[in-house]
Amino acid sequence: AQKVTQAQTEISVVEKEDVTLDCVYETRDTTYYLFWYKQPPSGELVFLIRRNSFDEQNEISGRYSWNFQKSTSSFNFTITASQVVDSAVYFCALKETSGSRLTFGEGTQLTVNP
Amino acid sequence: NAGVTQTPKFRILKIGQSMTLQCTQDMNHNYMYWYRQDPGMGLKLIYYSVGAGITDKGEVPNGYNVSRSTTEDFPLRLELAAPSQTSVYFCASSYPGGYGYTFGSGTRLTVV
């Protein structure tokens, strides 16, 4: 069975600090997809990234970066120079190629204080 | 581009009442899903469909029903509302393989 664990329930940082959100996953499939979503206070789900299990290259998009390590089953997300607007709940999710469902972690509430 | 449209955005139901949450997508996605999100929790899959006429249960299907008569529409039916169904409901759609996974803006349901 697939499972996603986000051990950090809440993180609080001061603006301009770097912050890393952890995500550990479990799957029996050899091919799968990993996702990160942002849920701001308004409640909608904002897609951030989709990563194929074949592609272990790290990715950077502006202040966001993702570190995918298959050896440790982790897909961590780092925000560099955090801003107040980054305050949100962040979800990591997993989809096995053999299945249809997206399995979410419990989310990490990030609060960036001015 | 409308994407995934959910209606209503908010609803208050009394215990025992019924209602249908509507979901429509205009991206010609084969796959559609219903998730619920309880306060402080991640999303859990209620039902999903891989195409018109095909539906299947997710993790938490009890108390709900779905139908998929067209590619575009995937309504979720609550027959006898219970307080435990107070939640935010998200509809989503995608191509097979996880491409283009798109969520609606959610329906906040309160059962009193």
DSSP for B49-104? EEETTEEEE-S--TTEEE--SSSSB--EEESS--GGG-EEEEEEEE-GGGTT-EE-
Question: Considering only CA atoms, which of B70, B71, B41, B46 is closest in space to residue B56?
Answer: B46
Min Cα distance B58 → chain A (Å) is 8
Distance CA B70, CA B75 (A): 10
Question: Which string of b and e fits B60-73 if b means at least 16 CB within 10 Å?
Answer: bbeebebbbeebbe
Q: What is the pLDDT of residue B41?
A: 86
Contact B43 A91 (CB under 8 A): yes
**For chain A, what percent of residues have pLDDT higher than 70?**
100
Which amino acid makes up residue B112? V
Closest CB to B42 among A47, A95, A106:
A106
Give the integer Cα–Cα distance in Å for A108 and B49.
Answer: 29
**Residue from the list A45, A97, A104 with its beta carbon closest to the beta carbon of B97:** A97
Residue B88 pLDDT greater than 90, yes or no: yes
* Nearby residues of A62 by Cβ (< 8 Å), 6 or more positions away: none
**Neighbouring residues of B39: CB distance < 8 A, sequence distance ≥ 6:** none
Token look-up 């539906």 returns: B55
**For residue B112, what are the CA distances in angstroms to A94, B8, B15, B41?**
34, 17, 6, 21
> pLDDT at position B4, please?
95
Asked if the model's pLDDT at residue A12 lies above 70, the reply is yes
Task: Quote the pLDDT of residue B1.
Answer: 62
Which residues of chain A neighbour B103 with C-beta distances below 8 Å? Answer: 37, 44-45, 47
Mutation target to probe the B interface, by most B beta carbons within 10 A, among A45, A48, A90, A97 is A45
A43-97 confidence digits (pLDDT tens): 999 999 988 898 888 888 899 999 999 999 999 999 999 999 999 999 999 998 8
Give the minimum alpha-carbon distance from B80 to chain A in angstroms, rounded to a whole number: 26
The answer to whether B98 contacts A102, with C-beta atoms less than 8 Å apart, is yes
Using an 8 Å Cβ cutoff, are A47 and B101 in contact? yes
CA–CA separation, B112 vs B109, rounded Å? 10
Task: Label residue A1 by pLDDT band (50, 70, 90).
Answer: confident
pLDDT digit string, tens, across residues B4-50: 999 999 999 999 999 999 999 999 999 999 999 998 888 999 999 99
Contact (Cβ atoms closer than 8 angstroms) between residue A64 and residue A48: yes
Q: Between vectors from CA B46 to CA B43 and to CA B52, what angle results, nearest 5°?
A: 125
State the pLDDT at residue B98: 67
**Mean pLDDT, residues B61-80:** 96
By the 10 Å C-beta count (0-12 exposed, 13-18 middle, 19+ buried), B2 is classed as: exposed
**What is the nearest CA distance from A101 to chain B, expressed in angstroms?**
7
Q: Round the average pLDDT of chain A to a whole number and report it.
A: 93
CB B15 within 8 A of CB B81: yes
Residue B105 contacts A where some CB pair is shorter than 8 Å: yes
